């Protein structure tokens, strides 16, 4: 599964990239850069193209976190991303709000950037287990460190794992999928390419061929 990270800061361009790539993209992830420039209603516009995931990395007290989740679910998102280091009470509240909208909650275990190793890595497996015990739907784990994808998957086997960091941050589709990712999240390598649609198509095809390779290998092993 390919998720487009739409960190474009021009409203019209964002809509154009979303429409041009829609055929190859399962969901569109929005983040502060787009919403702070285009306004929160861009979420509703994009939701008409593909399901939207709100990556506001919710990280506040339960009340404020729940309010943020409610506002974006009201705008039509299908899922929100929260930080896990905030602890159980906040995740429970975000989960409760999401359930009112039949929505999903994904939890960041450690950032894909180098700084993610400074504080977050140490607690990433506890965060993964917490997210699972709270009934969240999945984790956000670093495509830049496939060994960490494997680690969080074994800590919380029932959760989906979505992985940012392919392309501009150096992660490879094959390594990430072999580590057990359910989806890759790609931003700059698609929307900054001269032909975003073609770039999305290439990621889509690469995902398909890697998936077939993995399935063949699993088939042989069984
Ligand atoms: O650990 C994370 N790394 C990361 O890059 C968690 C994230 N949510 N992201 C987001 O994924 C980041 O904020 C951006 O929206 C997207 C990656 O974009 P790109 O590096 O493919 O351009």
* pLDDT number for residue 189: 98
Would the annotation count 116 as a binding residue?
A: no
Residue 3 Cβ contacting ligand 1 at under 6 Å: no
Distance CA 129, CA 132 (A): 5
Catalytic residue among 57, 129, 160, 178: 57
Looking from the CA of residue 81, the nearest atom of ligand 1 is 8
Would the annotation count 188 as a binding residue?
A: yes
Spatial CA neighbour of 147 closest among 167, 118, 176, 169: 176
Q: Buried (b) or exposed (e) across 109-141, using 16+ Cβ within 10 A?
A: bbbbeeebbeebbeebbebbebbbebebbbbbb
CATH at 69: 3.20.20.70
* pLDDT number for residue 218: 83
Q: Buried (b) or exposed (e) across 72-83, using 16+ Cβ within 10 A?
A: bbebbbbbbbbb
- Candidates 31, 57, 112, 114: which one to mutate for ligand 1, based on the most atoms within 8 Å of Cβ? 112
The alpha carbon of 30 and the centre of ligand 1 are apart by a number of angstroms equal to 10
Residue 171 Cβ contacting ligand 1 at under 6 Å: no
Q: How many domains in the chain? A: 1
With 0-12 / 13-18 / 19 or more C-beta atoms within 10 angstroms meaning exposed / middle / buried, residue 60 is middle
* pLDDT number for residue 221: 55
Splitting the chain (222 residues) into consecutive groups of 10 residues, what average pLDDT does each group show? 98 98 98 98 98 98 98 98 98 98 98 98 98 98 98 98 98 97 98 98 98 87 54
The alpha carbon of 212 and the centre of ligand 1 are apart by a number of angstroms equal to 26
* pLDDT number for residue 222: 52
Would the annotation count 138 as a binding residue?
A: no
Other residues' Cβ atoms within 10 Å of the Cβ of residue 62? 18
75 noted as active-site residue: no
* pLDDT number for residue 110: 98
Is the overall model pTM greater than 0.95, yes or no?
Answer: yes
- ipTM, two decimals: 0.99
Structure tokens at 9: 């800061």
Q: Which residue has the tokens 């890697």?
A: 210
Spatial CA neighbour of 117 closest among 144, 136, 77, 98: 144
Distance CA 109, CA 128 (A): 6
Distance CA 222, CA 138 (A): 27
Would the annotation count 58 as a binding residue?
A: yes
| Full domain range(s) for residue 82 | 2-218
């Amino acid at each position: 599964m390919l998720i487009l990270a739409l960190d474009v800061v021009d409203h019209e361009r964002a809509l154009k990239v979303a429409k041009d790539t829609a055929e190859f993209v399962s969901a569109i992830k929005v983040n502060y850069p787009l919403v702070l420039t285009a306004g929160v209603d861009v979420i509703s516009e994009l939701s008409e193209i593909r399901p939207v995931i709100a990556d506001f990395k919710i990280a506040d007290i339960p009340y404020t976190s729940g309010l943020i989740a409610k506002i974006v679910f009201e705008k039509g998102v299908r899922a929100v991303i929260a930080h896990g280091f905030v602890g159980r009470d906040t995740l429970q509240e975000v989960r409760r709000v999401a359930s009112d909208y039949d929505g999903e909650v994904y939890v960041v275990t450690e950032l894909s950037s180098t700084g993610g190793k400074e504080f977050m890595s140490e607690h990433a497996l506890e965060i993964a287990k917490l997210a699972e015990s709270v009934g969240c739907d999945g984790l956000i784990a670093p495509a830049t460190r496939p060994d960490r994808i494997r680690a969080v998957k074994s800590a919380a086997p029932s959760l989906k794992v979505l992985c940012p960091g392919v392309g501009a941050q150096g992660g490879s589709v094959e390594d990430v999928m072999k580590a057990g990712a359910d989806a890759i999240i790609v931003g700059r390598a698609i929307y900054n390419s001269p032909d975003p649609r073609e770039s999305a198509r290439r990621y889509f095809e690469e995902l398909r061929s890697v998936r077939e390779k993995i399935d063949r290998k699993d088939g042989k092993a069984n």
